[in-house]
Amino acid sequence: MAEIAQVWKDINLSEHKQLARAISRVENNGQGYRKWLSGLNIDLKVPVIGITGPPGAGKSTLVNGLISYYTSQGSKVGVIAVDPTSPFNMGSLLGDRIRMSEHYNNPNVYIRSLATRGSLGGLSAKTIEITDVIKAASFDYIIIETVGVGQSEIEIAGIADTTVVVLVPEGGDEIQNLKSGIMEIADIFVVNKADRPGSDLFKANLIKMLHQKPTSAWDVPVVACVATEKKGIEALTQFIEAHHKSNHVNSKRPYLFAEKAYQLIQSARMKDIDKRELVEIIKMKLQEGEFNLYSFVEGLS
C-alpha cells in the first residue's frame, strides 16, 4: 500500500504526460484513486463549458474555435471529448479529433477523448472525476464536448457550469421538439453554420420560443456562428464569461452538485460489474442452452 500511495504522490499534474497517466488510472479504477481524488486541490472557480447538440451541428469545429480564441488570450484550456463506445471492444467508436489537431502540440492545450462506456446521456460515467483532475491541473477553462445524441444529453447540466447547445438551420420544424429536454438545460444557444439559407428565420423562431419560457435571472442568448471561419466565437465567449459571473446566483447549482453526487454513488456501486466479464459469462450461458436474461440479472443483484 505504501508503494501505491507513492505512485499517486509522485504525480505532477502540470506535466501533460503525467496528467494523462493520472486520468488513465482514474478512468480504469486504479488502486487508491478515490483516496487520491479526495485529497486533490480542486479549483472550483475554473469554468466548465459543456458543448452539446445533435450530430452534425459542428460541435468539434466550435470547440476548435473556442480553443483558438482562449489560447490567443494566453489562457490554458483542457478539453474532454466524449465519444460513443463500441459494444464489442468497449473502446471509443469515433476517436477522431481531426478538427482540433492544430492544437495537439500547444503546451497550453490538453485534449482527452473518453468513451461513453455505455452511458446513455452522452457522457462517460468517469467524466465528473476526470473533470476534477483537470481542474486541479491549473487550467483556465475546461470544455466538455458530448457525443451528440439529442435530448438525452441533459446529463451535461450536472457537470458544466455553462451549457452551450449547438444547433443548425437545417433543424427546421424540429425546433419544436427541443421543449422537452434541451430547452431546459441550455444557458446559451448557438446557431452554427449561420451562413446557410434559413438561418435568420431559424434564429428568430428560437428566440420566440425562449420568450415563452418563464422569466429568470439569466436571459438565454442566441448566438449566430460560422465555426469553420471562427465567426461569432468572440461573441460566444463574452456570453460564457457573463454567465459564469452570474453563477453566484445560479439556482441550478445545488441540482448540478446533486447530479454529480448521484453519478458518483452510482459509479461506486457498479464498480464490480465488468462488461467484458459479462460478455464471457453470457457467451458460456448461451452455449449451455436456455438463457433467461432476467434470471441472470437477478442472480447478480
pLDDT in tens, 243-267: 998 865 556 667 767 777 787 787 7
**What's residue 269's pLDDT?**
78
Whats the size of the chain, residue-wise?
A: 301
**Closest listed residue to residue 134, CA positions, set 37, 252, 260:** 37
Task: Dump the DSSP string for 107-132.
Answer: TTEEEEEEE-TT-TTSS-TTHHHHHH
Instruction: Give the CATH fold of the 42-269 domain.
Output: Rossmann fold (3.40.50)
Of the ranges 18-22, 120-124, 183-187, 247-251, the best mean pLDDT one: 18-22
Domain with CATH 3.40.50.300 in the chain: 42-269
* Spatial distance between the Cα atoms of 257 and 37, rounded to a whole number of angstroms: 16
15 vs 265, residue with greater confidence: 15
Which range is least confidently modeled, 14-28, 66-80, 143-157, 208-222? Answer: 143-157
120 vs 123, residue with greater confidence: 123
pLDDT in tens, 23-64: 999 888 888 888 898 888 888 889 999 998 888 889 989 999
pLDDT at 181 over 50: yes
Per-residue pLDDT band at 186 (split at 50, 70, 90): confident
Beta strands in the chain (DSSP E): 48-52, 77-83, 109-115, 141-145, 162-167, 188-191, 222-224
Burial class (CB in 10 A: 0-12, 13-18, 19+), 130: buried
Per-residue pLDDT band at 151 (split at 50, 70, 90): very low
Task: Dump the DSSP string for 36-94.
Answer: HHHT----TTS-EEEEE-STTS-HHHHHHHHHHHHHHTT--EEEEEEE-B-TTT-SBS-
